[in-house]
């Protein structure tokens, strides 16, 4: 009760001083996103460029994914651009599997469901598999897709449309969650994908600062990928390739009508392990490999690339590291009242998260998205602030201190050892 009396006694200026972390670093981003999507975007819709007529090579790389391979390639045959017109080439790369994937993809090739079946006797990681597939790709556009990703019937046609602009080198599709009803953990990721991909990437696309084409569903101009040397072996190879394309001068776009669904972790343990791997890339890619984007003397320096990097660094790295210091400052100055202030901060986050959720849901094709997911928004917000942000902090410290990504099993140890030597 005393805490509430204390908060109510503060004037506006005192509240800003007290909640400086949220007011200066967090809330502006929420407000910018909400205003842009609610007000600006409906007036900025670009006309549909139509089908540019490009051919597309689809590269599917899998390790021990025999269980879902047939369903994946069968679904691809139903795409609206049609294999019968010779515009779609399907390449499957078996990355050292031991579950019979090699034999299955050869049968699928014999049945005419895929065009090229490639087998790597020893696992080299996804980037090695993608580069192997690129060597056999003949399409103007290369689509990189996970085997457990399912596409809407018009998804490939929609993701090809932005390539009518010859300056576009990569296009990111819109990803949703297929197994959202499996658990509370996957349900929260359904909200997360809605806010960070369907919502967030629309905003980044408006600013021209899109910094990642998802490896689960993304398309690239083949000459652009070949021009930057394909994918490098890395944890977060999709972000790394995207930034190489940006540095080479190519534009990156988001295609909201190119819809696909992917599988997400259904347990806390698997989710944390996934995010630890993803968040280490904030250091390996953004702080180590592309920190030169801040250097205006670099020959290929572009202000928009610097802003894209700054967006990632401030809102994903700096905020994460600063939050414990903010709590320490609260505890030092207000002792037990620190928890009351944090509680009030969480309520503020909930209000802004709910606002963004409603706006993001309004762009969804499914009119029931909002009512179906709204009850889970408070839990989502609390989980993001109290669980996932500390997980990100651990990932950042692991990578800064121990370079943990170089021992991550996602990329085989012998491959990362070669990367270290280079």
Task: Provide the mean pLDDT of the chain.
Answer: 87
Tell me: pLDDT of 45 over 60. Answer: no
- In a domain, residue 363? The reply is no
Q: What CATH number is attached to the domain comprising 61? A: 3.90.550.10
Q: What is the pLDDT of residues 113-167, one digit of tens each?
A: 999 999 999 999 999 999 999 999 999 999 999 999 999 999 999 999 999 999 9
**162 vs 80, residue with greater confidence:** 162
User: For residue 177, is it within any domain?
Assistant: yes
Q: Is residue 318 part of a domain?
A: no
Report the distance separating Cα 145 and Cα 182, nearest Å.
Answer: 23
Q: What is the pLDDT of residue 31?
A: 66
CA 418 to chain centre: 27
Give me the percent of the chain exceeding a pLDDT of 70. 86
CA distance 237 to 127: 7
Instruction: Please state the domain count of the chain.
Output: 1
Mean pLDDT score, 66-94:
88
Do residues 58 and 114 touch, judged by C-beta distance below 8 A? no
Residue 144 lies in a domain: yes
Instruction: Tell me 98's DSSP state.
Output: S
Helices (H) and strands (E) in the chain, counts: 20, 8
pLDDT (0 to 100) of residue 73: 94
Residue 272 covered by a domain: no
Residue 410 lies in a domain: no
Alpha-carbon gap, residue 91 to 135, rounded angstroms: 10
Residue 189 lies in a domain: yes
pLDDT above 90 (res 26): no
pLDDT bin (cut points 50, 70, 90) of residue 174 is very high
Containing structural domain, residue 72: 56-266
Q: How far apart are CA 52 and CA 35, in angstroms?
A: 32
* Tens-place pLDDT, residues 193-209: 999 999 889 888 988 88
Per-residue buried b or exposed e for 105-137, using 16+ beta carbons within 10 Å of the residue's own CB: beebbeeebbbbbbbbeebbbbbbbbbbbbeeb
Task: Give 359's pLDDT tier (boundaries 50, 70, 90).
Answer: confident
Q: What is the pTM of this model?
A: 0.91
Q: Is residue 72 part of a domain?
A: yes
């Amino acid at each position: 009760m005393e805490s509430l009396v204390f908060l109510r006694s503060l004037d506006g200026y005192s509240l800003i001083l007290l909640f400086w972390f949220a007011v200066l670093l967090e809330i502006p981003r929420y407000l910018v996103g909400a205003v842009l999507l609610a007000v600006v975007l409906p007036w900025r819709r670009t006309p549909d460029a139509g089908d540019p007529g490009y051919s597309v090579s689809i590269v599917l790389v899998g390790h021990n994914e025999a269980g879902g391979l047939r369903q994946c390639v069968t679904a691809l045959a139903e795409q609206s651009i049609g294999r019968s017109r010779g515009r779609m080439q399907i390449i499957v790369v078996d990355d050292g599997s031991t579950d019979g994937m090699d034999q299955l993809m050869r049968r699928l090739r014999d049945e005419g469901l895929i065009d090229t079946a490639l087998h790597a006797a020893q696992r080299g990681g996804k980037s090695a598999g993608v580069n192997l597939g690129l060597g056999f790709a003949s399409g103007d556009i290369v689509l990189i897709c996970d085997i457990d990703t399912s596409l809407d019937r018009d998804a490939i046609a929609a993701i090809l449309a932005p390539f009518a602009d010859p300056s576009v080198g990569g296009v990111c599709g819109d990803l949703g969650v297929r197994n959202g009803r499996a658990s509370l953990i996957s349900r929260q990721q359904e909200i997360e994908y809605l806010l960070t991909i369907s919502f967030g990437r629309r905003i980044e696309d408006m600013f021209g600062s899109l910094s990642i084409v998802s490896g689960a569903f993304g398309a690239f101009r083949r000459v652009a990928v070949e021009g930057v040397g394909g994918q490098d072996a890395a944890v977060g190879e999709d972000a790394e390739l995207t930034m190489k394309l940006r540095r080479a001068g190519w534009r990156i776009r988001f295609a909201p009508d190119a819809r696909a669904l992917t599988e997400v972790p259904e347990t806390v343990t698997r989710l944390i392990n996934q995010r630890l791997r993803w968040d280490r890339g904030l250091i390996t890619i953004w702080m180590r490999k592309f920190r030169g984007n801040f250097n205006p003397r670099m020959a290929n320096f572009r202000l928009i690339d610097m802003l894209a990097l700054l967006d990632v660094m401030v809102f994903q790295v700096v905020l994460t590291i600063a939050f414990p210091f903010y709590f320490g400052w609260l505890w030092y100055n207000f002792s037990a009242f620190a928890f009351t202030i944090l509680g009030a901060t969480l309520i503020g986050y909930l209000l802004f998260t709910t606002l963004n959720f409603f706006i993001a849901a309004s762009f969804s094709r499914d009119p029931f998205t909002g009512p179906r997911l709204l009850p889970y928004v408070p839990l989502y917000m609390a989980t993001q602030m109290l669980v996932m942000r500390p997980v990100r902090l651990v990932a950042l410290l692991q990578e800064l201190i121990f370079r943990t990504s170089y021992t991550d099993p996602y990329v085989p140890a012998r491959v990362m050892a070669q990367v270290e030597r280079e």
